[in-house]
Every structure is written in C-alpha cells, then in structure tokens.
C-alpha cells in the first residue's frame, strides 16, 4: 500500500454514520490486489483546480420524470431500484432504448425508458401497480430499440420493482415521501432505512468475515432525491455531504486510468481478458473499497487546494468523464450483480 502523505489519510471520520468508510478502510489497508496511489489523487485534484467544475447536465435531468409531487419520489425510488448492470458481452451491442428520435444506452436508457413509460400513461408511481407488475408489462416498459438485446438481469429487475411496490404499499401508504419522513430527512438515516426496508438496496459485502457496506444504490437514491427536488420539499435532505462515492464499475475504470487505483498483474489480466469476477469475490470487494477511498482521498486533496466538494459531486464528475472514454481505454471489471 502506498503511504499517504500527511494531508491525505485513510482514517474514517468519527461521524461515519453510514459505516461505509469505516467498513471499507480495512479492505484498503490489508488488501493484496488493489493499491491506492495518493500522489496520483493529489495530482488529479491539482489538475481539476485549473478546470471549471462541471454543472449538472441539463440533458441528464431532462431524462428524469419530475412533476414536483410525491409521484416523482416514487419514480426516483423505482429508477434507483433498477439502476444496475448495463454492460454487454464483449463485441456485443448493449441494451439500447429509443426515445424521441434518439437512442440511449446504460443508465441513460433506463431513465428514458421509465420516463417514456410515464409519458405513455403507465402508472409507475403507483405502488399497487408495481407490487403486481407482470413480466410482460416490464418487458414492454424496458423494450429495446430495434436490433438491440434486452436488458441484462431482467428477472432481478422485475423482483426489485415488485419489492418497491410491496414495501411502499404495506408500510408507507404507497409513498416514498413517507420513507423520507420516517428517516427525518437525514441522508445517512435514509440510506440505511432503504437498506433495511428493501432487500435489493442492502448492498453489504463480506471480507475476512466482516461486513463491508457499500450501499451504492441506497446512497445514490438519496442524492438523486436531493437533486431532483432541488434540495427543497421531499429533497430537503440534510447531511448529503456525509455520503460516500457510489462504488460501481465505471468509477474504478476512470480512477485506474488516472493512476489512483493500481491493480496487481493477476487482477489486471483478469479484467483485460473480460473474465467475469463473481459478486463478493475478494477482487471485487477490494476494487469497490479502493474506489470509495480514492474518492475520499480526492475530496481531501481538493480541500487542501481550497476546493470544498462532496464525495457525491466528485463521483458525478468522474462518472461524467467515464461517458466519453476512448475506445482504447482499459476495460472495467465485469461483475453481474444487482448492486451496481
């Protein structure tokens, strides 16, 4: 493990209510497959200091259904319950959606498919409808553009959508807004509540017989609600700054390109050959833990440069850049999972 300079530390904060930084720190310190290069994090932070911070993309926001009501909160919960695993097999096309004359893949395709469905009158904000969602109805909602394959892990997405409907209907009057209220409009409490109430959001791995929480989709749902409502109403959620990076497969790809994540040759070869890594394998847990801490080191390095940015904002910047990766870029790791 590369030793961090004095101003960059792997010490979790005392108020780590989510437990993500605390749970991932031992993996980063003791792991053998992934190394963090803190000096590379400092260099990237310095480079960013000289470039404008990207605003939230207007076209990205336009893909999200939003009417300012409780229906928007329900739609956002559903979107994040289905927000995982969009990659295709090597040399095969990805699941792609056509909407308003434009084709989209990845998360963009999911957001547009769900917004398209709302435009078509599908009651996706109705918990009872979701609880009884049929396979054929979901297939129609997520229908690909002509000539493209169906979305991966379809059955898992169907199960997640039904769970959203069942839990909301049975415990929260059919409304995600009641979940936000139950969490006291607190970011950490809301992410943890989502993980407790919805099994599909319980993104907790195990490493050396210890739990390692990542809570990727739970945290991103909290951030999405805050952004969608502009920090007002159902989005008036406190403590957004305590969220961590949303550990997925695109962030580590970009962090590795910047030299912040360094893989041992055996792991690099697995990824270069597009060999799948099983969910919960040591390699997968190490990659995700290092991703969380790479973003935390970037946050600390930016702070050292006089730039105050939350981990979620750093995450978004890296993710945006990942959408324009060159064709010769190093590949991302491949794990079929519902968590990212």
Alpha-carbon torsion, ordered 118, 161, 59, 219, to 10 deg: 140
Q: CA nearest 102: which of 118, 87, 115?
A: 115
Q: What is the pLDDT of residue 4?
A: 45
Q: What is the pLDDT of residue 7?
A: 56
The DSSP code sequence of 152-173 is SSHHHHHHHHHHHHHHHHHHST
Q: CA nearest 131: which of 170, 162, 105?
A: 162
Is 248 marked active-site?
yes
**At what angle are helices 250-257 and 311-322 packed, to 10 degrees?**
80
Q: What is the pLDDT of residue 289?
A: 98
Coil, helix or strand at residue 82? coil
Catalytic residue, from 248, 282, 315, 328: name it: 248
Q: What is the pLDDT of residue 328?
A: 67
The residue ranges of the chain whose pLDDT is under 70 are: 1-7, 57-60, 325-328
> For 208, phi and psi rounded to 5 degrees?
50, 40
- The CA distances from residue 202 to 133, 285, 328, in Å, are 22, 15, 35
Which alpha helices (H) appear in the chain, and where do they start and end?
Answer: 20-30, 38-49, 58-62, 70-81, 106-119, 127-131, 135-141, 154-171, 176-182, 187-197, 216-228, 250-257, 265-272, 282-304, 311-322
Q: What is the pLDDT of residue 309?
A: 94
- What are the pLDDT digits (tens) for 150-175? 999 999 999 999 999 999 999 999 99
- The CA distances from residue 212 to 24, 35, 49, 102, 252, in Å, are 6, 18, 32, 40, 17
Q: What is the residue extent of each domain of the chain?
A: 20-322
Q: How far, in Å, CA of 56 to CA of 264, rounded?
A: 35
N-to-C CA span, the chain = 26
pTM: 0.94
- The CA distances from residue 160 to 83, 113, 131, in Å, are 10, 16, 10
- The CA distances from residue 189 to 27, 149, 295, in Å, are 24, 38, 22
């Amino acid at each position: 493990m590369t030793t961090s300079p004095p101003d960059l530390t792997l010490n979790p904060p005392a108020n780590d209510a989510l437990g993500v930084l605390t749970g991932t720190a031992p993996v980063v310190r003791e792991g053998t497959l992934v190394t963090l290069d803190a000096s590379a994090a400092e260099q990237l932070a310095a480079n960013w200091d000289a470039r404008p911070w990207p605003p939230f993309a207007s076209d990205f926001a336009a893909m999200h259904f939003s009417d300012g009501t409780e229906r928007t909160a329900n739609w956002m919960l559903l979107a994040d319950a289905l927000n995982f695993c969009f990659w295709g097999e090597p040399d095969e096309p990805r699941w792609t959606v056509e909407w308003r004359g434009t084709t989209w893949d990845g998360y963009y395709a999911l957001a547009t498919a769900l917004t398209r469905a709302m435009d078509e009158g599908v009651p996706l904000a109705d918990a009872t409808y979701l609880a009884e969602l049929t396979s054929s109805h979901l297939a129609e909602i997520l229908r690909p553009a002509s000539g493209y394959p169906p979305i991966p892990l379809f059955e898992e997405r169907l199960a997640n959508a039904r769970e959203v409907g069942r839990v909301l209907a049975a415990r929260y009057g059919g409304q995600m807004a009641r979940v936000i209220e139950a969490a006291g409009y607190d970011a950490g409490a809301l992410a943890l509540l989502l993980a407790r109430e919805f099994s599909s959001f319980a993104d907790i791995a195990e490493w050396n017989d210890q739990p390692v929480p990542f809570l990727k989709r739970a945290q991103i749902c909290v951030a999405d609600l805050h952004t969608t409502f502009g920090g007002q109403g159902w989005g008036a959620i406190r403590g957004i700054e305590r969220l961590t990076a949303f550990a997925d497969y695109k962030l580590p790809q970009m962090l590795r390109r910047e030299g912040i994540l360094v893989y041992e040759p055996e792991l690099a070869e697995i990824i270069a050959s597009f060999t799948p890594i099983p969910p919960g394998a040591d390699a997968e847990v190490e990659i995700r833990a290092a991703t969380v801490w790479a973003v935390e080191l970037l946050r600390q390095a930016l702070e050292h440069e006089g730039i105050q940015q939350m981990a979620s904002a750093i995450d978004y910047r890296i993710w945006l850049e990942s959408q324009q990766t060159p064709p010769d870029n190093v590949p991302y790791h491949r794990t079929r999972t519902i968590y990212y």
